[in-house]
Amino acid sequence: MLELLTTAQMATADHLAIEGGVPGIRLMEKAGAAVARAVTARVPEGRVLVLCGPGNNGGDGFVAARRLRAAGREVIVHLLGDPARVSGDARIAFDRWGGPTHPADLPLPEAAGIVDALFGAGLDRPIEGLAAKIVAAVNASRLPVIAVDVPSGVSGNTGEVMGTAIEAVASVTFFRLKPGHLLCPGRELCGEVTLADIGIPASVLDAIGPRSWRNGRALWAESMRAPGAGSHKYRRGHAVVVSGGLARTGAARLAAGAALRAGAGLVTVASPPDALVVNASHLTAVMLGRMDGPESLGAMLSDGRVTAAALGPGLGLSAAEGTLVDAALAAPVALVLDADALTLWQDAPDALFDAIAAREAPVILTPHEGEFARLFPDLTTGPKPERARAAAARAAATVVLKGADTVIAAPDGRVAINDNAPAWLATAGSGDVLAGIATGFLAQGMPGFEAAAAAVWFHGAAGTEAGPGLTAEDLEPALRTVLRRLWAPAGLVLP
C-alpha cells in the first residue's frame, strides 16, 4: 500500500476500475461513505457544513452529506458554481442528495465542523475570487475541517499551495496516497490522512507501474539481514568513516557510532595524524586507524574486508580533503558522500558524476537543499521528487534530498518520500548520524536505494523515539530501541 499515485495515475486507476466493471458512482459512494465516517469520528455532534465544488470532489461531498443526514445529522450543503454544470457521477450524487443546496456564499453558516469537497485531483490553477474568500473564511473559523482527497488548494502531485489552501484536521483519500499528502507544505495542511478502500482492485497498479512510494519497511525490509548463527563480525561488513582534522572530529564519530549501531560488524574512524589523540580519547567499540593522506586512505579501503566508507561529516573543504574523496571514489567500496564531500565538488559537479559513473559499488549522496543547489544548480525549482529523480539519474547515485520531507531517489527512477521524521531532528549533527546509518547498511551489503531509504526511515524513527530535546548524541541509543522493537526472531516485523 506504499505506492504513491499522481493525480493522472489516479484517474487511470479510476478508468481501469470502471472498465473492469466497477461503476464510477459505486467508487464515489464508497468515497463519500468514508468521508462521512471520518466526520462522525472527528465531529460527532452538531451541524455539518459540506462545501461542494463543481467536479467529482464535490460529488464525494454530496454522498457524504446524504449519509450524514441519514445518520440523523443536521447538514447544510453549499455548492460553488452553477448547479446546472454538475455532471457525470457527481450529478448522480447531487440528485441522490436531493436536499437543499445553497450557492456558496459568505459569511459561512454556523456549524460544528466542515467537509471540504471543493477541489481535489482536478485542481489545475490557483484558487482565486470567491473560492479564495471561502477558503480564508474556513481557515479563520478554526472549525475542524475534514478534507475530501486533499485539502482544497493543495496540489496532490506536489504538495504545493495553489493560490491558497484549506487547513484540515483530517483528509480522507482513496485507493493510494498522492505525493502531496507527504510533501511539505501539503503534509501539514492535510492533518491526519486516512486511506479508504473504494473498490479499485490493486491489480490496476500493474498497468500503471508507479515509480514513487511512501518510505516504509516494505521497500527495504527484504534486503536487511539479521545476523545468524554462522555470522561473525567480518560477515556483517566493515565500515570506514573519515575524520576531519583536530577541531572537526565529532561529526565523523557520530557517523561511525551510528554505522556500528546500524549493524556493521566493524567500524573504523580513519583519522588524520593530528586528530588521532582526540579521536582515541573518545572511541571504544569503534576502532581507530591512522590515515596520512589519499594513498593511506586508498590502502585502507582496498583491504578486501572493508565494504563501505563515509566521507563528508566534518571533513573540511581544502584541496587536501578533496584528494581524500578522490581516493575513496577510486576504491572498490560502497560510499556515502555527505556535507563537505559534496560541497568540495561545487565548481565541477560533472567530475564527481563521472567518477561515480566509472565505479561499480553504490554511492549515496546525502545533500540538504543548500548542498543540493551546489551540485545541481539547475534543479533548484520544481517538485522535490522530480528534482531528486533527475539528480540521481545524472549522478548515477542514490540521492537523499534532506529536509522535513526527505526524498530518496535512485538512478533508475524509483523515488521514496519520507514522512516519519520529527522536526526535533533539525539539530546540529543529525545529518551526520543519518550518513552513518546509511553507511552501516551499505556495509552489510544492502543496495544503495534500499540502504538510503532504510537509513532515512530509521533516522526518523530514532528521532521520534528520542523526542523533544534530542541532540544528535541521543539518536544512537534511540536507534537501538527502534531496532530492538523491529527485529523479531522471524526477522524484521512488517507493519
Ligand X SMILES: NC(=O)C1=CN([C@@H]2O[C@H](COP(=O)(O)OP(=O)(O)OC[C@H]3O[C@@H](n4cnc5c(N)ncnc54)[C@H](OP(=O)(O)O)[C@@H]3O)[C@@H](O)[C@H]2O)[C@@H](O)CC1
Q: Which of ligand ADP, ligand X, K ion, none binds 116 (CB below 5-8 Å, type-dependent)?
A: K ion
- Interatomic CA distance for residues 269 and 253, integer angstroms: 7
In contact, 116 and 168? CB cutoff 8 Å:
yes
Residue 243 annotated in ligand binding: no
Q: How far is the CB of 130 from ligand X (least distance, A)?
A: 9
Q: How far is CA 329 from CA 43, 302, 427, in A?
A: 57, 11, 29
Among 19, 21, 107, 125, binds ligand X (CB under 6 A): 125
- Interatomic CA distance for residues 123 and 107, integer angstroms: 24
Per CB under 6 A, 475 contacts ligand ADP? no
| Continuous H helices in 222-293 | 250-261, 276-280
Per CB under 6 A, 397 contacts ligand X? no
Per the listing, cell 568513516 goes with 241
- Binding to ligand ADP by CB under 6 A, coded x per residue (else -) over 418-437, reads ---xxx-xx-xxxxx-x---
Residue 344 annotated in ligand binding: no
Nearer to ligand ADP, 123 or 408 (CB): 408
**Cβ count within 10 A of residue 187:** 18
In contact, 100 and 34? CB cutoff 8 Å:
no
Among 6, 9, 56, 268, binds ligand X (CB under 6 A): 56
- Interatomic CA distance for residues 481 and 377, integer angstroms: 39
Residue 191 annotated in ligand binding: no
DSSP reduced 3-state for 282: coil
Region of 36-44, 118-126, 383-391, 439-447 interacting with ligand X (CB under 6 A): 118-126
- Interatomic CA distance for residues 349 and 343, integer angstroms: 9
Tell me the site size for ligand X, rule CB under 6 A. 29
Q: Which of ligand ADP, ligand X, K ion, none binds 165 (CB below 5-8 Å, type-dependent)?
A: none
Per CB under 6 A, 316 contacts ligand ADP? no
Residue 426 annotated in ligand binding: no
Phi-psi region of 154 (alpha: psi -120 to 50; beta: other; left: phi over 0): beta
Residue 211 annotated in ligand binding: no
Gyration radius (Cα) of the chain, Å: 26
Per CB under 6 A, 186 contacts ligand X? no
Per CB under 6 A, 368 contacts ligand ADP? yes
Q: Which of K ion, ligand ADP, ligand X, none binds 152 (CB below 5-8 Å, type-dependent)?
A: K ion
Nearer to ligand X, 149 or 476 (CB): 149
> Which parts of this chain interact with K ion (CB under 5 A)?
116, 120, 147-148, 152
Nearer to ligand X, 137 or 493 (CB): 137
Tell me the site size for ligand ADP, rule CB under 6 A. 18
- Interatomic CA distance for residues 419 and 461, integer angstroms: 10
Residue closest to 173 by CA, chosen among 213, 146, 138: 146
Q: How far is CA 490 from CA 226, 265, 487, in A?
A: 9, 21, 8
Residue 178 annotated in ligand binding: no
Nearer to K ion, 152 or 398 (CB): 152
**Residue 220 identity (one-letter amino acid):** W
Residue closest to 469 by CA, chosen among 431, 430, 427, 433: 427
Q: Which of ligand X, ligand ADP, K ion, none binds 423 (CB below 5-8 Å, type-dependent)?
A: ligand ADP
Spatial neighbors of 318 by CB under 8 A, at least 6 apart, are none
Region of 125-133, 325-333, 371-379, 389-397 interacting with ligand X (CB under 6 A): 125-133
Q: Which of K ion, ligand ADP, ligand X, none binds 406 (CB below 5-8 Å, type-dependent)?
A: ligand ADP
Residue 251 annotated in ligand binding: yes
DSSP 448: H
Alpha-carbon torsion (407, 457, 8, 166), positive or negative: negative
Enumerate the known binding-site residues for K(+). 57, 116, 152
Q: Interface residues with ligand ADP (CB under 6 A)?
A: 339, 368, 402-404, 406, 421-423, 425-426, 428-432, 434, 459
Q: Interface residues with ligand X (CB under 6 A)?
A: 10-11, 13-14, 27-28, 31, 53-60, 119-127, 131, 148-149, 174, 198
